[in-house]
A and B are shown apart, each in its own frame.
Chain A
């Protein structure tokens, strides 16, 4: 891999609209190697869209976005499909609604990526998948279908599936928002362990405890822009922006 130093994710002035609705407005930020960046903010502030831009599930119409040293998008133009697919192999994505493949066993959900995209032999891919399932605490579920799993288990499989591609950065799009409260902890625990291993992570979440404990940088979004960004101690204890203050008050009073 040629991209040595420099940020893993670098956005410069990206903007995105859905029809007349401007969702992202001139957003710039960077995620350095091994950094955990957590994005918080009220719903509709553009957090998820920002995250989805980072693997071109959404295409910003202006600005540029560089991932792992490759310029993914510039002014609404995405790199050709072939290069995009190669780049996406380095970017793991975890969705709010898991999106596991229901027709494949848990083991195959994890192994299907390396098998089809890295041309890994079946035995090797399955051994790797079993390792990863062990890591997320689901070794015993390898041979069942996703429909039989709880939400927390599904999300842990989804994390293992993304890790199977050996990505250089992991994107999490509200990974615990669809979970029953008692299942949130098991997923956050896996994510903490991942951060501890030095994985570069960009996480959109409403879990303020996770942000406070694990984040290197907390970015607060509102109205399609980043209104505040800094280490968690500063953002949570001494927010500079009045909108950050009112958002945190609202979140903490309901928690």
Chain B
């Protein structure tokens, strides 16, 4: 077997730069995903508010039922037909953010529904409106329960973000492919790329476990 890792050594600065772009795209997407997920998750709490519930459910169904790559291409290659030309980076963040928003909304909904019904009753009995009870009583408790699954979502998003390399974004995957295109060393470079992804996801996983342990020690999470 003939393995030659010199292209990887020489390409190290590019790979690191790509990793940085990956972290940027993923973080921005997760932020967008959290905002969207909170709105959509709350909208899906109450089936009796038909229009809001229906719209939110439609969004979740579409996003979860279609490939992320198709969604990204719709934004990047589809929108220009309406003369909407978004920068590649923005397309990537929008696409990944909208995608993760659907999953985050389920995390949000699950966390809110896991809060004992008595909490809402006690808040409303004091005279709080639904919105006040949500904001002051329910959400602060629910957010704590969202942290572990949100971390998993972050890890999944890091991996899924490799797809944005197809939108000309120079992320980790894209930088790897550029090195391969001049060195023809696919196995070595993809192994190196995989390793960097593994480092990123392991780091997030580590931080997450620490956070969980502390929350548990504080008695906030059972």
Contact = CB atoms under 8 A, between A and B. Distances in A.
Interface in A80-137: 81-82, 85-89, 91-93, 95, 97, 99-103, 112-113, 116-117
A103 B140 contact: yes
Contact of A117 (B118, B128, B219): B128
A156 interface: no
Interface of B: 116, 118-119, 121-130, 132, 136-137, 140-141, 144, 219-220
Interface residues of A, number: 29
A85 B118 contact: no
Given A101-B137, A102-B141, A112-B136, A117 B119 contact: no
A238 interface: no
Nearest to A90: B127
B118 A99 contact: yes
A72 to B, nearest CB: 13
A91 B127 CA distance: 9
B127 A93 contact: no
Contact of A165 (B127, B137, B141, B220): B127
Given A103-B140, A116-B132, A116-B136, A91 B118 contact: no
Nearest to B129: A85
A55 interface: yes
The B contact surface, by secondary structure, is helix
A117 B219 CA distance: 29
A113 B126 contact: yes
Given A87-B127, A112-B136, 17 more contacts: A55-B125, A86-B127, A89-B127, A91-B125, A95-B118, A99-B119, A99-B121, A99-B122, A101-B123, A101-B137, A103-B140, A103-B141, A103-B220, A113-B127, A116-B136, A117-B132, A161-B126
A147 B222 CA distance: 12
Contact of A116 (B116, B128, B141): B128
Nearest to B141: A103
Given A95-B118, A102-B141, A147-B219, A57 B125 contact: yes
A101 B121 contact: no
B122 A95 contact: yes
Contacts of B116: 99
A88 B141 contact: no
A241 to B, nearest CB: 32
Given A99-B118, A101-B137, A103-B141, A88 B132 contact: no
17 contacts: A55-B125, A85-B124, A85-B129, A89-B127, A91-B125, A92-B125, A95-B121, A99-B118, A100-B122, A101-B123, A103-B140, A103-B141, A103-B220, A112-B126, A117-B128, A117-B132, A158-B122
